[in-house]
Structure 1
């Protein structure tokens, strides 16, 4: 790849990225109202969990590529929520209303949130019907004008792009790395849905910024998360700059972590091209293979596919206290400046672990 479109070969990524702490990247000029999240597959299920449970934090909205309903795996076997199954959303709806304002943020916030959903008609891993149920579920709380549902004809289980990337999969095949040229710029479309057509066109040349690695440990870590994660920071959002920047969280799917597919999700999905021209930081949390056995709502299971947790594997994963959600939220709050300068107007939702930050 040309210029500073950093191709992070797994054996040599350290020469392209500096190991930093998220605190050191904080610009104190990140708009807290600009925070959004999107994810693919298990990352899509996680994006829905974050968007619903932490709706006070993800004010710009949330996007789900090839994911399913919120709370799908709690009261039914999680496999019902995969492989074109027929999960029920009735109990999840009851749960959502019961938890609103307690275990999760108030569902009333969803009326103000932009929600983006995408699925391929040939997806045989999750399935178009299951993703459609997410739209049905959210229709109870969100304004129809704020929800966009895109169907990609002939697309299999893949994060859609409109460019060819080295090592990507065919659009009509559900196979690693699950990133494919389907003639649709998924990253661009979800970001435009959140932030509007006022976004500048994506970059076409070398990127101005850098992909940094950071330790995903301590309050930023959890079982099933890797020790290292990544963040793309455009030049205008780096230290000493005055730009007011946005923040987007991009979540990969099962098997798509850096240790498995290298930098493909970081680079080939296209998020950074849009971020570079629009003063946007992109956070890339990372999972890891976890062969330990943990109790889930569907029985004792390992996380050998390195999935983000939506099945109750690491705590109550559909509540704000879920281990993976807590870690990701801690990353977000660190970037937007929990240790912000005195007098800052940045507001944060009140969380039981706020004092850790």
Structure 2
């Protein structure tokens, strides 16, 4: 490798959009997300629980909360936890499982789940997030669920090196809380991880890859998806070491079209990846006329099947996951 290319890899250079690659990955795949990304991570975990071993959910509510309604999404499932009928959500999940539209819910029993809500969150109320905990407690062993509800944080991804003041709103929705949310989440799921120093220099590449192929012959924008996404690959994983895959779902107003690569660079996942042999996949949603803020589909704008294996976004991300495994 030339000195120039080595330098670009060292600083985490983003090269031109390319084909998503395959890597030497083990089977321990996990997901996380913030806000609409939390809802999406939850949906993907529930639907793909044969492959996903754990989920980290920042500022999001329970599975199928919106029940196909934008009005419910923007009211009940963000602010009014007392209006959430959990029995309906349990019934929907169990109906989907019995129809094989999601994997058997029994797979969730031994999965690790991390749930975070800031005490000052004014976008998704802490009470709504606690309904997420209630959903998982029905299907997951209680000792495998870790909750963090005591940090004085506004709505956003908590880090220990980047973002706005922890307790105030900022338009990137990344909060410097002196708390490494990415590390705490991944360490709960996997255990025994090395913790990076705040904002540690990166050794790998943040790669911009083509998402279009995972939605062909339809344009990704039809389903609220960008034509490109990001994947972070540490130097060790580039060299053939066996690594683990973690999929990160951004929130509304945080996709590439709004923040470029700021979310993928500055939420702390890449530093954890470098020290612990993780590849981090950052699929990218995009705004369209049905989804003005570039959210993930957790209320049904792209399909009535948005929360099961047949949802367009769910299928696209599954294909990305399979590609990294060399199976698509």
Q: Same fold (TM over 0.5)?
A: yes
- Which moves more between the two structures, 36-45 or 87-96? 87-96
8 Å CA contact 2:68–2:299 kept in 1: the answer is no
Unmatched segments (≥5 aa) in structure 2: 1-7
Structure number having the greater helix percentage: 2
Aligned pair count reads 309
The residue that corresponds to 2:166 in the other structure is 171
* Partner SS for 1:112: coil
SS at match of 2:109: helix
* 8 A Cα contact 2:9 2:203, kept in partner: no
Q: Secondary structure at the match of 2:149?
A: strand
Partner of 1:26: 22
Is 2:326 aligned against 1:337?
A: yes
**Among 297, 300, 304, the residue aligned to 2:292:** 304
Deviation at 1:154, TM superposition (A): 2.1
Distance in 2 (alpha carbons) for counterparts of 1:3 and 1:328 = 26
2:52 alignment partner, SS class:
coil
2:79 paired residue among 79, 83, 97: 83
How many angstroms apart in 1 are the aligned matches of 2:255 and 2:30? 20
> Which one of the candidate residues 180, 196, 200 is aligned to 2:191?
196
Contact between 1:5 and 1:267, CA under 8 Å: does it hold in 2?
Answer: no
- 1:51 matched to 2:45: yes
Query: Which runs of 4 or more aligned residues in structure 1 lie more than 6 Å from their structure 2 counterparts after TM superposition?
Result: none
Hey, what's the Cα distance between the residues in 2 that align with 1:287 and 1:230? Answer: 11
Q: Deviations over 1:21-79 (max 9, x none)?
A: 11xx212x2002x11000000000001101111101212x1110000000101166222
Q: Residue 54 of structure 1 contacts residue 104 of structure 1 at CA under 8 Å; is this kept in 2?
A: yes
User: CA separation in 2, counterparts of 1:111 and 1:85?
Assistant: 25
How far residue 158 of structure 1 moved from its aligned partner, in angstroms, is 1.2
1:138 equivalent in alignment to 2:136 = yes
Distance 1:271 1:54 in 2: 22
TM-score scaled by structure 2? 0.89
Runs of 5+ unmatched residues, structure 1: 7-14, 292-301, 339-356
Report how far residue 85 of structure 1 moved: 4.3
User: Aligned ranges for residues 1-357 of structure 1 at < 5 Å?
Assistant: 4-6=10-12, 16-22=14-20, 25-27=21-23, 29-32=24-27, 34-59=28-53, 61-74=54-67, 77-79=72-74, 80-86=76-82, 87-101=84-98, 102-163=100-161, 165=162, 168-197=163-192, 199-202=193-196, 205-220=200-215, 221=220, 223-238=223-238, 241-291=239-289, 302-315=290-303, 316-338=305-327, 357=328
Relative to structure 1, is the Cα distance of residues 3 and 100 closer, same or farther in structure 2, using a 3 angstrom cutoff?
closer
**For 1:131-186, what per-residue CA distance to the aligned partner results, in whole angstroms no more than 9, with x for missing partners?**
000101111110001111111432110111112x2xx2222223310001112110
- Distance in 1 (CA, whole Å) between partners of 2:138 and 2:46 is 12
Alpha-carbon shift at residue 5 of structure 1 (Å):
4.3
The Cα shift of 1:201 comes to 2.8
Q: Distance in 1 between matches of 2:9 and 2:210?
A: 26
Alpha-carbon RMSD:
1.8
Q: Is the 8 A contact 1:3 1:206 kept in 2?
A: no
Question: 3-state SS of the aligned residue for 2:279?
Answer: strand
Contact 2:9 2:205 in 1 (8 A): no
